[in-house]
A and B are shown apart, each in its own frame.
Chain A
């Protein structure tokens, strides 16, 4: 495939600060217990998709139990209430229900998909999983073994190594972002059944709970489903705030030696957060500069003109407590120096001169035109709705998003390029055996 993996990666990164164009009717449904959901009804296919998100995640895991939230995400479908792990898994499998949980730094997410004919059993299983998980010894030890092998497995993956090292350099070793949400061997080994119960109580509450639903269900039914599923979760949560990260503002090259034919190059510097007033202009700028699509500056200079890398991109990486700019390329060890130089030059060129009017026009045409492609399946609509809720974008955002993009002028992107791009602050993390590239002394 030409750039398939890359495009997937890109979509995932962007989905948290999305905007829109198709006429999609979103209903806001509020249950008696105060849970609100955004709903897009579509009865043409007998499926229901629900995405939901709780407040709190890996960034607030206890330091000596790092990985606790992710451990919890692997345990919620391993037995609940009157059902053992085997019984619970059999019910999921036999009714073709898709249920999964995941932890990010600040949120704890879940997704449920079901045939509408199995609606009642699906939501009843979800209710049990959320309100009375068992954490029995056998499944707990099994999941622990899986997590430990997963951590072991990550140790030699060059891309995992470089991303973690880069992030640690950017936010400092003591900030929670420097820690992987998968935790540490010691953390995973220390976690007990009681820890999981405590964590579930803390994370799975109605405060800050966001729900998005699409498919074969109407508002009235959904209202009952929300109460039945989430109504008896605790009302309040007391997740401690995460400290602001002090983002590094000095250029640096770090090299992590690995015996591989191709070096992984991850790079970036400080950036902005989602709520920054320049965010939309910056989003357009980064589409021009580093989208990873043909025509974007890095792709043209690194791949198309020089054949240095299969993929080359840079994107805004707006974490809640750290605004970052992050990019990536990978090249044969002998050409790492050349690749770094090209990337630096492109940062400088764009910071100094900004894009051309034609580049801006093309980017606006792409971003506004392709927005509809994010809404062509029910499951994609559910993820878009949830992403918009997480970013606090408001229910009308999908309607207005394209006009926000169209309002960006050349003066806006030039100003933002100057404000945002800092070739003299680029931090490069290289994993491999780069030839004739020296690591920084500091």
Chain B
């Protein structure tokens, strides 16, 4: 029965090889300055998201109608908004909702997209063609437009945004996974599994999935940046996070009307906060991509 023994040993060696590669990738990331800078900024915002209410000098919800639209001062570092709320506190706590919604939406899209992509790539044929046409028709609409329609239909809550963005990302991620699976399914280990009489789900999820993990990881980090983009944009349009939550995009949406009157601090610090967050994700995603593709 030596024929049976060989693949088992091989599998063990492969397993060891895989975890070695993983720790090597991790070491490489820690040496990359872009990754470290991105991670530091992201960790800063995660800390703000978790402990924001204790760090912030004021309550982000506390209104003070006698001190509205005040310019930045020592009492209010980032000034106050149209309801007299402390902008500094709102910017600190403002990372909370986006850092919950965007990763969950991306995770959902990645899981569903991986399943659909595995099925499309593995079975090909009619399933692939039909799903492909629908993906095509779906992609003719910008994510923002589909998001607007879905959210104005289904109502506005954080759960709905997560589901809508997750579903919108599913075909995009499926396309990437499908392309990777098409390459894998022709390899010998898939043929071997088929000859052993394994069922299709086993081959897809146990044999092929671990080998397409790297492109899925890259896709996840790239999509996370887009999820942040989409959630913030929909919130800016009034369809995402709802008031009075402290949220960067929501604050910009509520206050950009008074910018021409000179109250720039009510939007500028939120805009800068968004910029630092998306830059940190981009730096991380860029270095993960570099490390995994080497």
The judgment on whether A and B are partners is: no
